[in-house]
Chain A
Amino acid sequence: MKVRVSVQLKPGILDPQGKAVEQGLHGFGFEVEHVRIGRLIEMDVPGTDPVDVKAKALAMCEKLLVNPVMEKASIEVL
């Protein structure tokens, strides 16, 4: 099954990239705030049970995909 893992910096962790992009958007006149930049990881995981596949993806997050000091993830099974 197709799995999409969205990795975001935790709230409260400074995101200088987000800040720079926010300033860039302001430069174009867009009214925008709290811009945060994350990472999107897509993959095919074997299995047909979404609960099981999501559990596998969670294990991947814990082992490698996410650094819990600074990041949090949300997992979507498509």
Chain B
Amino acid sequence: MRVAVPVFPGSNCDHDALHACGTVMGWDTIPVWHQETRLPEGTELVFVPGGFSYGDYLRCGAIAALAPIMADVRRHADSGGLVLGVCNGFQILCEAHLLPGALLRNESLRFIHADVHLRVERTDLPFTRAMKAGAVFQVPIAHAEGNFTLDPAELADLEARGGVAFRYCSPTGEIGEDHVPNGAMNGIAGITNLRGNVLGMMPHPERAVDPKIGPTGGLGIFLSLGSTV
């Protein structure tokens, strides 16, 4: 599989993405500077990494969404190519209108870094098809703006079409406000577009894939992607 990792000024999880896709999964993984106008030939997955692109100026992800490379990421998504956005990458995909909604400041006002549990809500996606329905996995979060928000009518649409891929939950899979770290509506941790080829999530699966470093709760997403292409 060929993976492109767009790198913006202020990206700081690009090396985690390169390590997970390149070193751990053994995929052909190529960093792509934001000023490039074309993804590498044959790109199958675009991994938009976390960080603080453009210093979070204006709004998180707002300036990165306008970067030259994003036009080709949009073309890739429109033609059915896979796009995974993590943390700031999720914010960028929302600002680029590849996904609905916005990520507001955490309800607590604080930057939160913690291990959280996620429940898989969709197992028919290229990102989740190696997972079992309702499975719970543990991955870290590290963000100050992860409070997913959408106007009530659009939120109802998102839920009705099964657009929620992952929800924050207890270690045994229970859903509820107590298990939502950041105030996100309906405990939403990750969503997908209508077509199911673009996924954005606040937690960092790419930081939980290498047994030499720590737990491997995020591996399911990468194994799913590996079985897709």
Closest A residue to B108 using CB positions: A16
Q: Which of B62, B100, B101, B104 contacts A13 (CB 8 A)?
A: B104
In this complex, which of B95, B104, B108 has the most chain A Cβ atoms within 10 angstroms of its Cβ? B104
Please report the C-alpha to C-alpha distance between residue A17 and residue B151 in the assembled complex, in whole angstroms.
Answer: 20
B102: A residues at CB distance < 8 A: 67, 69-70
The answer to whether B107 and A69 have CB atoms under 8 Å apart is no
From 122 to 179 in chain B, residues with beta carbon under 8 angstroms from any chain A beta carbon are: 147, 149-151
Main secondary structure on chain B at its contact with chain A? loop
Closest Cβ of chain B: how far from A72's Cβ, in Å?
Answer: 12
Q: Which of B58, B109, B149 contacts A69 (CB 8 A)?
A: B149
Please report the C-alpha to C-alpha distance between residue A13 and residue B105 in the assembled complex, in whole angstroms.
Answer: 11
Please report the C-alpha to C-alpha distance between residue A70 and residue B94 in the assembled complex, in whole angstroms.
Answer: 12
How many residues from A make CB contacts under 8 Å with B? 10
B66: A residues at CB distance < 8 A: 64
The answer to whether B183 and A14 have CB atoms under 8 Å apart is yes
**What 1/0 mask marks residues of chain A from 1 to 37 whose CB sits below 8 Å from any chain B CB?**
0000000000001101100100000000000000000
Is A75 located at the chain interface by the 8 A CB criterion? no
In this complex, which of A13, A17, A69, A70 has the most chain B Cβ atoms within 10 angstroms of its Cβ? A69
Is B19 located at the chain interface by the 8 A CB criterion? no
From 37 to 53 in chain A, residues with beta carbon under 8 angstroms from any chain B beta carbon are: none
The answer to whether B59 and A67 have CB atoms under 8 Å apart is yes
Closest Cβ of chain B: how far from A37's Cβ, in Å?
Answer: 10
Please report the C-alpha to C-alpha distance between residue A38 and residue B51 in the assembled complex, in whole angstroms.
Answer: 24
Please report the C-alpha to C-alpha distance between residue A17 and residue B106 in the assembled complex, in whole angstroms.
Answer: 10
7 A-B interface contacts by CB (under 8 A) = A13-B104, A14-B147, A17-B109, A64-B58, A67-B102, A69-B100, A70-B104
> B residues touching A (Cβ–Cβ < 8 Å)?
58-59, 62, 66, 94-95, 100-102, 104-109, 147, 149-151, 183
